[in-house]
A and B are shown apart, each in its own frame.
Chain A
């Protein structure tokens, strides 16, 4: 079974530009979450999509947006790039919806897209 794939793996942009990152979840997985990893902050949750709907959102400015398609593939867009947006962007997929107390829907992470903003 193929894992989570992310494209591109590396990206260099300049301030003010916009960027779109892509994530293909594991086949059959309907939930896709995005995280930003920076050296000082660790992994921070951006948003989660389930069945083409944004279900949860982290504390990031509106320049960060996303969407999910009917085949569960997801894209993340960052507009008006800033130097501080340089980070590793990770996508994670899980099988189904929310899990109740005592159980957890394991999230499987892709290798990430390394974005550098100059």
Chain B
């Protein structure tokens, strides 16, 4: 049973515009949410995270929003750049554990 879901397998955005990647989860015990970025032939790299006690976290061009009542989070990239083209994974952690539950990923393509 997939506890973290990314329903959009792919997304294409023009350079300079906003990219919005979405993620839904089912487990109310998740207390930390993360976004990872993955290029081909490389492991995922951490991008940004948010604790369940917050509803927004910003880091440069990247902002993550958390809506606990809807069990939904999103990643906004503004402005999008061609180098942002990668697969983005949403992940979540249960309190007291180190392991992560991942979504299936969204492939972002930023068109120059």
Contacts and interface: CB of A to CB of B under 8 A. Distances in A.
A107 B103 contact: no
A98 B97 contact: yes
A112 to B, nearest CB: 6
Interface residues of A, number: 34
B89 interface: yes
Contact of A43 (B42, B49, B97, B102): B102
Looking at A33, A58, A109, the one whose CB has the most chain B CB atoms below 10 A away is A109
A31 B100 CA distance: 13
Contacts of B105: 42
Contact of B100 (A98, A99, A101, A107): A107
Contacts of A108: 43, 46
A99 B43 CA distance: 23
A103 B43 CA distance: 22
Given A104-B32, A107-B46, A109-B43, A48 B89 contact: no
Looking at A40, A43, A92, the one whose CB has the most chain B CB atoms below 10 A away is A43
A55 B98 contact: yes
Contact of B98 (A40, A42, A90, A94): A94
A35 to B, nearest CB: 8
A98 B43 contact: no
Interface residues of B, number: 30
B45 interface: yes
A64 B46 CA distance: 26
A105 interface: yes
A116 interface: no
B69 interface: no
Given A90-B43, A104-B49, A111-B42, A33 B102 contact: no
A101 B89 contact: no
A25 interface: no
A19 B103 CA distance: 27
A45 B89 CA distance: 14
Given A40-B104, A98-B96, A107-B98, A90 B44 contact: yes
12 contacts: A4-B43, A42-B102, A43-B102, A98-B96, A101-B31, A104-B32, A104-B34, A107-B46, A108-B43, A108-B46, A109-B45, A111-B43
